[in-house]
Amino acid sequence: MNNVLVVDDEPDVLEITAHFLRGRGFAVERAANGAEALRMAAAGPPDLVVLDISMPGMDGIAVLGELKKKHPATEVIMVTANAGVETAILCLKMGAYGYLMKPLDFNLLYLDVSHALERRRMALELDESRRKLEQKVEELRKLNEQKNRFLGIAAHDLRNPLGSIRGFSDFLLEGGLDEETSQEYLRNISGASSDMLILLNDLLDIAQMESGNFDLHLANADISEMVGTRAALARLSAAKKDIAVEVHLQEGLVCLMDQDRIAQVVDNLISNAVKYSPHKTIVRVETSREGGMARVTVRDEGPGIKENERHKLFGEFQKLSARPTGGEKSTGLGLAIAKKIAEAHQGHIGVESEAGKGSAFYFKIPLK
């Protein structure tokens, strides 16, 4: 940041001044009049201009005004052969850094140029620090808004199951209920507490990921073996809706992964497929090799995703028009968590879907 433009209509003064400044390590350009100086500044504003006041056509004061209007960060040192306190005061009020008399004292010129450039450097650093501070403040504001939104949604979603637990517990404490009714109330309490636990676990996962304290425990493992295990477990819940879970696995897909976290992604995709699929349909779980990636795909025969809703799929607390077919609950966080886990493995998650024709959710992570 040492670009200096010297502007003077006297060729000898222009040459001597430019030569002196170049000898002191500054990058110097020259302009013989005000119009040329403004054209050069428009092409690339210099850090500093050494500007003669008395020039034919556009004088230095007019040039100073244009420079400060269009390039306010550029420092300007005015030079004149005619003493004039009023002119000096005017230039300083217009934003000039300094005011020197001809014939130039080059030692004084060097000091003024050096100080002016240092002032500009410090001003730019201050502007950058201010910009970064404003950016941090904005980030904190967004995080605070997100925290408040999380708290609001958590409070809303926890209120209903807590109310159910409280109500059924009061009935049980009062006594006088037959065995069948008591067992029903206990099942309701168990279901409500399970819903709460799922929501709280999802909130803790999101909070951990957003805070940057998201550690993966990586090890080499066959992703097809893990997917097969998770699909077998999912068959139990799918059977309640008479949904078949078919599995097609490609062998030899070894990945460096956190097995618990990747299993969390697989569980989410399969449970969502079961949740939104009609009774007596099929959910297909597949693994395959795609270039240097292992791909896991879960296909369902559900309602599909409307095109205008797909951008919401992997966001937090997003609700779509499709509804679970068996009254299941959703926290609205599962796919957002799955996306963060896949990306933490340098992978990708996505969906292929057509309204009315089912969906294929998939994720890919690198092979070992």
Residue 125 lies in a domain: no
For residue 362, the SS3 value is strand
Which residues make beta-bridge pairs with 5? 29, 49
| Same domain, yes or no: 202 and 324 | no
| Same domain, yes or no: 307 and 186 | no
Residue 88 lies in a domain: yes
| Same domain, yes or no: 149 and 187 | yes
Dihedral, 98, 101, 107, 108 alpha carbons, nearest 10? -30
Separation of alpha carbons 48 and 4, rounded Å: 5
Q: Residue 356: its pLDDT value, please?
A: 79
- Average pLDDT score over the chain: 89
Segment 211-228 shows an average pLDDT of 89
Asked whether the predicted pLDDT for residue 139 surpasses 90, the reply is: no
| Same domain, yes or no: 170 and 239 | no
Number of structural domains the chain divides into: 3
| Same domain, yes or no: 243 and 349 | yes
| The pairing of beta strand 48-52 with beta strand 3-7 | parallel
Which of 87, 104, 121 finishes a domain? 104
| CATH number, domain containing residue 190 | 1.10.287.130
| Same domain, yes or no: 81 and 147 | no
Q: CA nearest 353: which of 301, 320, 304, 299?
A: 304
Segment 130-141 shows an average pLDDT of 91
Of residues 325 and 299, more confidence is placed in 299
> Which residue is it, tokens 């002119």?
87
What 214-221 contacts at long range (C-beta under 8 Å, 24+ apart), as own/partner pairs, is 214/340, 214/344, 216/257, 216/258, 216/261, 216/344, 216/345, 217/258, 217/260, 218/256, 218/257, 218/258, 219/256, 219/257, 219/258, 219/259, 220/254, 220/255, 220/256, 220/368, 221/254, 221/255, 221/257, 221/259
| Same domain, yes or no: 87 and 33 | yes
Q: CA nearest 196: which of 167, 230, 152, 163?
A: 163
HEC-encoded secondary structure of 301-348? CCCCCCHHHHHHCCCCCCCCCCCCCCCCCCCCCHHHHHHHHHHHCCCE
pLDDT digits (tens, 9 = 90+) for 73-106: 999 999 998 868 899 999 999 999 999 999 999 9
Residue 277 lies in a domain: yes
| Same domain, yes or no: 202 and 228 | no
Residue 114 lies in a domain: no
pLDDT digits (tens, 9 = 90+) for 145-202: 877 777 777 777 778 788 889 999 999 999 888 999 999 999 999 988 887 887 788 7
Domain containing 149 equals 135-211
Q: Residue 319: its pLDDT value, please?
A: 66
| Same domain, yes or no: 45 and 156 | no
Residue 123 lies in a domain: no
pLDDT digits (tens, 9 = 90+) for 337-366: 899 999 999 999 999 988 778 899 999 999
| Same domain, yes or no: 200 and 280 | no
| CATH number, domain containing residue 256 | 3.30.565.10
Residue 109 lies in a domain: no
Asked whether the predicted pLDDT for residue 298 surpasses 70, the reply is: yes
Separation of alpha carbons 21 and 16, rounded Å: 9
| Same domain, yes or no: 24 and 159 | no
| Same domain, yes or no: 99 and 182 | no
Which of 161, 180, 211 finishes a domain? 211
Which of 211, 240, 264 finishes a domain? 211
pLDDT digits (tens, 9 = 90+) for 194-219: 878 877 887 778 777 877 777 889 99
